[in-house]
Amino acid sequence: MNMSSPSSCFHNLLERNVVEYTEMKELHFAMLTLKFPVHQNSTDLFKMEVDGCSHDELYFLPKLHRDDLLTLLELYRFFVHVAKKSNATFYLSGGSLIGQVRHDKRLIPWDDDIDVVISQDDLHIFTVTFGEEVERFNRTTKTFKLTEPKFNYYYDGMYKLYDSVNFTKVYDLYNFPFVDVFVFVKSGTVVIDEDKSSYKQILNSDVIFPLIRDKFLGEEIYLPYNVSEYLSCKSFMNLCQSRKYFHKYDHNLRNRKSITKNCGDLEFISFYKYI
């Protein structure tokens, strides 16, 4: 596979205002975000020609715009705050877990949400504490809400944490961006992970516990004990897969596919820079 030239592709992405850097000063780095407008049925982003960039590489461009990223980060921080205040057991999952391990404790550059899993046993106290903290913060700046699975038309087993004021897309029951909050149930020697959702899996307890304490996007969080087995993938550290699904529009972008590349083939794109 021919590698693109960093001096041509990445430079032209910035010059053509396809991407920009969004600073997260508290975390001491900036993350590449999308500047090019993408609409629900648009294929313009993936049809355009950028000097020095292969067509496949455009599928790995970020999907979050500046405002999306900053709101998502605030939502995530609030979740961690409430989880710790309520002493809830939780851990990272899905693409967020991959980002933590593979991308130096940060988001996968082309991901567009955050996935966490919380204990069913702690769910009541978490939701009570969430309501109390929202009430307290709503007197200042935070206007966060949490859908209940029974009101979530898409996945019965998933809560969505979203902002009712700062958003870039409105749905009937929640807004984008959002944090997906799944539930796990521990039963004897097994764990029902992401219970009652389409991602449900039953794992031996020792795949997840004891949880590993670490950091993600500057916050202290927890990871499953055996990440490779939890993800059912031994090659996630070396193989990067794009996603055709766009959470902002709740479906696949028209004519878009998922492709897999060696992660090393994407190193020429400076997804992050230290500030």
Q: What are the pLDDT digits (tens) for 160-193?
A: 999 988 888 888 888 999 999 999 999 999 999 9
For residues 144 and 97, the answer to whether their CB atoms sit within 8 Å is no
Instruction: Name the residue among 124, 58, 123 with its Cα closest to residue 90.
Output: 123
pLDDT for 138: 67
Which pLDDT band, with edges at 50, 70 and 90, does 154 fall under? very low
pLDDT at residue 2 greater than cutoff 70 = no
Q: What are the pLDDT digits (tens) for 29-77?
A: 999 999 876 665 555 565 666 777 777 777 888 989 999 999 999 999 9
* Residue 250 domain-assigned (yes or no): yes
pLDDT for 256: 61
Report the percentage of the chain scoring pLDDT > 90.
Answer: 55
pLDDT for 41: 55
* Residue 232 domain-assigned (yes or no): yes
* Residue 239 domain-assigned (yes or no): yes
Sequence-separated contacts (24+) of 137-141 with Cβ below 8 Å: 137/78
* Residue 27 domain-assigned (yes or no): no
Cα atoms in the 13 Å half-sphere on the side-chain side of 275: 13
Place of tokens 């899905």: 94
For the whole model, what pTM was predicted? 0.91
| Parent domain of 146 | 66-274
What CATH number does the domain containing 263 carry? 3.30.460
Structurally, the chain folds into a number of domains equal to 1
* Residue 54 domain-assigned (yes or no): no
* Residue 249 domain-assigned (yes or no): yes
Instruction: Name the residue among 85, 93, 61 with its Cα closest to residue 183.
Output: 93
* Residue 121 domain-assigned (yes or no): yes
For residues 120 and 195, the answer to whether their CB atoms sit within 8 Å is yes
* Residue 41 domain-assigned (yes or no): no
Q: What are the pLDDT digits (tens) for 8-23?
A: 788 888 888 889 999 9
Q: Enumerate residues 6+ apart whose C-beta is below 8 A from 75.
A: 114, 144, 161, 162, 163, 177, 178, 179
